[in-house]
Structure formats: structure tokens, C-alpha cells
Amino acid sequence: MKSKEQQEAEFRSFALAQRDGLRRQAYLLCGDWYEADDIVQKALTRMFAAWKRVDPIGAPAYVRRIVVNVYLSHRRLAWVRRERASDEVPSTLIDAPQEEIDLRLAVTEAMDRLPPRQRATLVLRYWEDLSVEDAAEAMGCSTGTVKSQCAKGLRKMRQYLNESAAPARV
């Protein structure tokens, strides 16, 4: 049996190794770096509470699932549903060509309009490049649910992107 200090050291090294990937995943889910930090902190706190019982081999998949669950529960809270205004332009957009900026903004706006589970499914499958099985494990659902949520999410994304590409009618 490992001592409490050994467990804490193992968890600390695990958290440091996983932190950047989890933060990126959380950002792709919620679209806000500050909220992503909150989600990751809550997920790592839950992970630490369960650390004694977690298999080290499955720990990365388990913590990804926790991130998705924290994000989905975060979305259910009414106070989270508010617009976030900012007068700062992200530095990654400053040097990008205008077409790339427009496409990035259109995709971001389309992702923001998706229901949380569809957005989570698309992030896990296409940004995190998880298999259907791994995404299902991360979301705690069946592979059929992942497939249907991906299909519905992609259909809505196409619809939203087509709407944003259509010229405004006066």
C-alpha cells in the first residue's frame, strides 16, 4: 500500500502531465479559457478524491470523462448562460489572413449554437481525435449515442455555416 505522500506525488505528476490537454479539451467544449480553467480544476479535484481507486492505465480516459461531465453539469446552470463581451482581439487572430479569421469565427459561432452533448461529442471525436469507443467511454454513453450525436451535430454545423455564408437579405 502506498503512503499518502506517494499518492499525492503520483497525482501531482499525473495532473502536470495531463493539464494542458485537459485545458485544451475544456476550452473546445466551452469556448472560454477562464471557464476551461474552472472545469479542469473541478475535474482534477474530483480525480484526486478518487485517486486511490483509479487504475493508472485508464486514468487519462477517466479524467477526460470527468471533464466532459463537469462541462455538461456546468452548462445546466442558468448563470453560466450569458454572453461574454470582450474588447480584446485574441493574439492568434491578429496575424491570420482574413479568410481564416472569418472561417474560425463562423465555426466558433456554429459550435456555440450546438447543444452541449453534441458539442462535447464533436470536440472529442474531431478535435481530440478519439475513436467512437473512446468518446463513448469519455461521455459515459453508448457508441450508438456518439454516432448519432456526431451526425446530428455535423448536420447542424453545416446548416449554421451555410446560414452564415448566405448573404444578408434586406
Is the CA virtual torsion 67, 86, 78, 114 positive or negative?
A: negative
Q: What is the pLDDT of residue 18?
A: 94
Angle, CA 166 vertex, CA 162 and CA 168 arms, to 5°:
140
pTM above 0.95, yes or no: no
Q: Quickly tell me which residue has 446560414 as its cell.
A: 163
Read off the CATH number of the domain in which 1 is found. 1.10.1740
Q: Are 160 and 113 in contact (CB under 8 A)?
A: yes
Query: Which residue, of 28, 62, 82, is where some domain finishes?
Result: 82
Q: Is the pLDDT of residue 78 over 50?
A: no
Residues 75 and 95 in one domain: no
Residues 121 and 153 in one domain: yes
Residue 70's closest CA among 1, 120, 104?
120
Structural domain for 140, as ranges:
90-170
Residues 54 and 116 in one domain: no
Into how many domains does the chain fold? 2
| Helices and strands (H and E) in the chain: how many | 8, 0
57-71, 99-113, 146-160: least confidently modelled range: 99-113
Query: Which residue, of 82, 105, 135, is where some domain finishes?
Result: 82
pLDDT tens-digit profile of 91-142? 655 566 777 777 778 888 888 899 999 999 999 998 888 899 989 988 889 9
Read off the CATH number of the domain in which 128 is found. 1.10.10.10
Confidence of residue 170 (pLDDT cuts 50, 70, 90): very low
Residues 94 and 170 in one domain: yes
Query: Which residue, of 82, 112, 140, is where some domain finishes?
Result: 82
Residues 61 and 10 in one domain: yes
- Helices 4-30/59-76 angle, 10° precision: 50
Distance (Å, whole) CA 138 – CA 130: 9
Residues 52 and 4 in one domain: yes
Mean pLDDT across the chain, nearest whole number? 85
Q: What percent of the chain has pLDDT over 90?
A: 48
Angle, CA 37 vertex, CA 94 and CA 141 arms, to 5°:
110
